[in-house]
Amino acid sequence: MAPSTSSALTLKVNGEKHTLSVDHRTTLLDALRERLDLTGTKKGCDQGQCGACTVLIDGRRAVSCLQLAVAAEGREITTIEGVADGDRLHPVQQAFLDLDGFQCGYCTPGQICSALGVIEEHAAGWPSAATTDIRPEAGVPELTAEEIRERMSGNLCRCGAYVSIVQAVARAARAEEETV
C-alpha cells in the first residue's frame, strides 16, 4: 500500500473549527488561502522573507508560509479576517486606514497582524534590538518610532508605506494603553 500523503485535521481559525483533509505538503498559508478561502493572508515570497503571510498562532506572530498545515492542528490561529469586531475595526486597522498606512494593501494584513504582536510583545516587556536598556529592572521600554521600526522590520512593504505604518502602530499602541 502506498503511504498516505494526506491527513484529515481540524484547524481552529478565528475561533471557528474547520475539518478538512490536506496534502501533507500544504502550508498553513495555502490551507488558509486555497482550502478555507481565507485569502486575506497574503503570499509575497512563500519562503519566510517578507512577512506578508503573518498570522497569530496562539497569540504569537508567525509566518504561515513556513508552517505546515498539519503542524497547526490544535493551535488558535488568528488571521486578518478575525481581527475586527464585526463591523467595528480594531484600533490597529483603524489607524492604518486613517493614517494611510498602506498603498497597494498587499503587505497590509501581514503588517496589521504583526503590529498586534508587536503591541503585545512590547506590553509584556520584551526588548528588541533597538532597546537601549535591556535589564529586567529597566521595565517596559518606551515604544518609540525607533522601537516600532525595529520590531516591524520583518514585514516588507514595497510601496514604501513605512513612515505611516510607524505612525499607525504608535497611535494604535497609545489607544490600547489608554483603554487598559
Partner 1 sequence: MTTTTGPAAVTGAVGSAHTRVEGVAKVTGAARYAAEVPFANLAHGWLVLSTVARGRIRSVEAEPVRRMPGVLDVLYYGNAPRVDAAYEGMMGRPDPTVAVFQTDEIPCAGWPVALIVAETSEQAREAAESLVVHYDKEPHDVDFFPGRPGSYTPDGDGMRVEKGDVEAELAASTHVVDAEYSTPEEHHNAMEPHAATARWDGGRLEVIDSNQGSTWIADELAKLFSLDPASVRVRSEHVGGAFGAKGLRVHQVLAVMAATVLDRPVRVVMTRRQVFSLVGYRSPTAQRVRLGAEPDGRLRAVDHEGLNLTSTVHEFVESSASFGRPMYAADAHRSVNRVVRLNVPTPTYMRAPGEAPGSFALESALDELAEKCGMDPIALRVRNEPEVGPVSGLPFGSRNLTACFEEGARRFGWAERDPRPGVRRDGRWLLGTGVASATFPVIVAPSTASATAEPDGTFTVRITASDIGTGARTALTLVAADALEVEPGRIRVHIADSDFGPATIAGGSMGTRSWGWAVRDAAIELREQLALGGDIPAQGLTVRSDTGAAIGALAQKERHSYGAQFAEAAVDVGTGEVRVRRMLGIYAAGRIINPLTARSQLVGGMTWGLSMALHEEAVRDQITGAHVGADLAGYHFAANADVPHIEADWVDDPDPDDPIGIKGIGEIGIVGAAAAIANAVWHATGVRHRHLPIRPDRVIQAGSPRA
With CA atoms as reference, report the closest residue to 41 among 67, 74, 5: 67
Q: Binding to partner 1 by residue 53, rule CB under 8 A?
A: no
Q: How far is the CB of 14 from partner 1 (least distance, A)?
A: 11
Q: Which residues pair with 61 in a beta bridge?
A: 56
Q: How far apart are CA 68 and CA 165, in angstroms?
A: 29
DSSP 11-22: EEETTEEEEEEE
115 binds partner 1 (CB under 8 A): no
Stretch near partner 1 under the rule CB under 8 A, chosen from 70-78, 119-127, 134-142, 147-155: 147-155
DSSP 44: S
CB 172 within 8 A of CB 95: yes
What would the DSSP string read from start to end of 35-68?
IS--TTS--SSSSSSS-TTEEEETTEEEEGGGSB
Q: How many residues of this chain bind ligand FES (CB under 6 A)? A: 23
The verdict on 165 binding partner 1 (CB under 8 A) reads yes
Is 152 a binder of partner 1 (CB under 8 A)?
Answer: yes
Minimum Å gap between C-beta 137 and partner 1 is: 26
Instruction: Determine, following the binding rule CB under 6 A, whether residue 52 of this chain makes contact with ligand FES.
Output: yes
Applying CB under 8 A, the residues found at the interface with partner 1 are 5, 23, 25-26, 30, 33-34, 37-47, 49-50, 52, 79-81, 83-84, 89, 93, 96-98, 100, 102-109, 112, 130, 145, 148-150, 152-153, 155-166
